[in-house]
Structure 1
Amino acid sequence: MTGDPSAQSALTDTVVPSGRTNKADDVGASQWRVAMRRLRRNPGAIIGAVIVLVFVLVALLAPVLAPFPAEALPGRAEIRPTFIPGPSDAYPLGLDRYGGDLLSKLIWGARASLLIGVLSTVIGLLGGMLLGLLAGAFGGWIDTAVMRLVDLMLSVPSLLLAVSIAAVIGQSPRAIVIAIGVVQIPIFARLLRGSMLAQRGLDYVLAASSLGLSRRTVTMSHVLPNSLGPVIVQATLMLATAVIEAAGLSFLGLGGGAPTTAEWGRMLAQAQNELEVAPRLAFLPGACIAITALGFTLFGEALREALDPKTRKR
């Protein structure tokens, strides 16, 4: 092939293999726009986003999708000590030990898990950002005091700390939300503090300070917004952890409520005595927990790659 070498070089820089990121497309684009472009080309991100979207839609549309109300026991008369009816036309996934429709319980359980996961992550995010902002913005003895508090919280295993907090507050869904949220606070605090310290050493902060901008203006208008990327990624990943921890605490009986409560962890706990009679009662809630956590993890890891310059495809 003959022709102008410079034209061939330009063509080579423009045409890239399928699935690769063209660096020319990223010039002049914002960080989040570039990240969204990479997410659309990442199969793991697409799979994770689909799983999360299905989970959220099922949770939000539970009153429409569920054949029966959350606490309804339509098949109570059909239950026998050694027999639990399986799938049928009336009950697509069968009944549980108490006569509740298993499909309805799983759908309503998605709403409970979503509510606990989101609220606990919001608590952890807000509390962690407050501590991280104090440490990253002021430094000095404030930074030292905040980080020692964070180190103290991290020195206790997360599950043990969550169980202790939930046990002190009392057995209820609110206790689980607060317990999981408190456990997440030190993680967000350390992440935001480290991200802010890294941003404070960049040239644009020195330039802004040289122009006479106050420390508060530089921190709140420049350093903090540019430090939120890793925090948002971590929040996505922590949603997966929150769903698993909520199920674990409910499995331990710290979520309160009746045995018939439609919550995946409680359903899993109640199914332990029925493994020989109806193993699906344990398998289906466990599968819902695993698939939901997988979706948040896949999307969170893909978002981390999309925002991290070190992992960008070349």
Structure 2
Amino acid sequence: MTGDPNAQSSLTDPVLHVANKAEDDAGAGLWTVAFRRLRRNPGAIVGAIIVLVFVLVAVLAPLLAPYAADALPGRTLIRPTFIPGPSDTYRLGLDRYGGDLLSKLIWGARASLLIGVLSTVIGLSGGLLLGLVAGAFGGKTDVVAMRFVDLMLSVPSLLLAVSIAAVIGQSPSAVVIAIGVVQVPIFARLLRGSMLAQRGQDYVLAASSLGLSRRTVVLGHVLPNSINPVIVQATLMLATAVIESAALSFLGLGGGSPTTAEWGRMLTAAQNELEVAPRLAMWPGVCIAVTALGFTLFGESLREALDPKTRKR
């Protein structure tokens, strides 16, 4: 019996497909292989599209928004028990103060992107410095640095951010600094652990045996091979930064007036209008959730693409 050739072909096709992918990835760089895997991952594509749309809306806000961020074109139409809904002039309706809701959402994207990026840069910079010192020197330096990190991680992140922002003062800068400080121990612990894993590798021992200085070995060999997990975590922390910035603004720590075009402030302003116009809270909430989802999907997909344990999938 020779069997059904079509059935045999259907069984061998997946095997050949995996073999072809392995051949394509052989000899390619880590990020090249990761990019190829991201292109085949639906979650990565969806996340990248969401992030790209979010970034474009934020950058092009002056061109996309029908009105300025502080404009109140419909203030004469507002009544105590009536807030105009969507119309030809105001596509998503007005808010309690007479501002165009669509314009507020677009300008809010720019504010959220700015806070997210700046806070992540602060957290990444501080975490890299602390993790580099702990991972490079070890010993008592490592112990002191990690106890400081453990102390910061013992406090819930949102509570710590609220405390820092309250001490600094109610302003967007306070929100950026608060979120950035909260992210420092996360990046520090991740980089330190990655560096400790790399320090025992053969290439490190070979470099040390050749007489290279510790600075050269750490900065030229260990750090470049330890940075990938930190980059992935930075992508994920952007999602957290957007959510936490909205939370701090919702609590009134972001400064600004009730008419400020920022998603968290918009949620705060909509609290008393839920029965009259629930859309005032719905649209900022949807923007926050979708943006965080985009960063999370892309970050998790990037983590899988760079994970050696899943390279053969």
TM-score grouping bracket, smaller chain normalisation: over 0.9
- Aligned pairs for 1:146-161 within 5 A: 146-161=145-160
Kept after mapping to 2: 8 A contact 1:52/1:292: yes
Partner of 2:279: 280
Q: State whether residues 112 and 245 of structure 2, in contact with CA within 8 Å, keep that contact through their aligned partners in structure 1.
A: yes
**Deviation of residue 12 (structure 1)?**
7.2
Contact 1:251 1:266 in 2 (8 A): yes
Q: Deviation per CA, 1:102-124, whole angstroms, max 9, x where unpaired?
A: 00000000000000000000000
Provide the C-alpha distance between the structure 2 equivalents of 1:21 and 1:204, rounded to a whole number of angstroms: 30
Task: Indicate the residue corresponding to 1:15 in structure 2.
Answer: 16
Counterpart in the other structure of 1:183 = 182
In the other structure, the counterpart of 1:201 is 200
* Cα 1:143/1:25, change in 2 over 3 Å: same
What is the Cα deviation at residue 269 of structure 1?
A: 1.0
Pairing of 1:238-257 with structure 2 (within 5 A): 238-257=237-256
Pair 1:224-2:226 in alignment? no
The answer to whether the Cα contact below 8 Å between 1:21 and 1:38 also exists between their aligned partners in 2 is: no
How many aligned residue pairs are there? 304
| Deviation of the 1:131 alpha carbon | 0.2
What residue identity is the alignment partner of 1:191?
L
Q: Could you give the per-residue CA deviations for residues 161-182 of structure 1, whole angstroms, max 9, x where no partner exists?
A: 0000000000000000000000
**Equivalence for 1:136:** 135
CA distance in 1, matches of 2:26, 2:203: 19
Find the aligned partners of 2:44 and 2:187 in 1 and give their Cα distance.
23
Indicate the SS of the match to 2:24: helix
Equivalents in 1 of 2:253, 2:310: separation in Å? 41
CA shift at 1:212, angstroms? 1.7
Is the Cα contact below 8 Å between 1:112 and 1:263 reproduced in 2? Answer: yes
Task: Give the distance between the partners of 2:71 and 2:233, measured in 1 at CA.
Answer: 37
Q: TM-score, normalised by structure 2?
A: 0.95
What's the counterpart of residue 169 of structure 1?
168
Identity across the alignment (%): 81
- Judging changes above 3 Å, is the alpha-carbon distance between structure 1 residues 55 and 145 closer, same or farther for their aligned structure 2 residues? same
Q: Which residue of 1 aligns with 2:5?
A: none
Distance 2:247 2:14 in 1: 51
Report how far residue 213 of structure 1 moved.
1.3
Distance across 2 between alignment mates of 1:313 and 1:245? 36
State the shift of 1:311 in Å: 2.6
Mapped partners of 1:78, 1:199: distance in 2? 64
Match of 2:114 in 1: 115
Instruction: Identify unmatched segments of 5+ residues in structure 1.
Output: 2-7
Q: Distance in 2 between matches of 1:14 and 1:252?
A: 55
CA distance in 2, matches of 1:160, 1:13: 50
Partner of 2:6: none
Q: Secondary structure at the match of 2:96?
A: coil
Normalising by structure 1, what TM-score? 0.94
After TM superposition, give the deviation of residue 21 of structure 1 in Å.
Answer: 7.6
Any runs of at least 4 consecutive aligned residues in structure 1 with deviations exceeding 4 A, and if so which? 11-14
Unaligned runs of 5+ in 2: 3-8
Distance (Å, rounded) in 2 between the aligned partners of 1:34 and 1:213: 31
The residue aligned with 1:56 is 55
2-side partners of 1:24 and 1:182: how far apart?
A: 44
Q: Counterparts of 1:311 and 1:189 in 2: how far apart (Å)? A: 25
Q: Deviations over 1:273-311 (max 9, x none)?
A: 111111100000000000000000000000000001113
Deviation at 1:312, TM superposition (A): 3.0
Residue 270 of structure 2 aligns to a residue whose secondary structure is: helix
Q: Does the CA contact (< 8 Å) of 2:121 and 2:180 recur in 1?
A: yes
Partner letter of residue 135 of structure 1? A
In the aligned structure 2, how far is the partner of 1:237 from the partner of 1:125?
12
Secondary structure of 1:15's partner? helix
Match of 1:292 in 2: 291
Q: Distance in 2 between matches of 1:12 and 1:67?
A: 54
Residue type of the alignment partner of 1:269: T
CA distances 1:34-85 after superposition (whole Å, capped 9, x unpaired): 1011001000000000000000000000000000000000000000000000
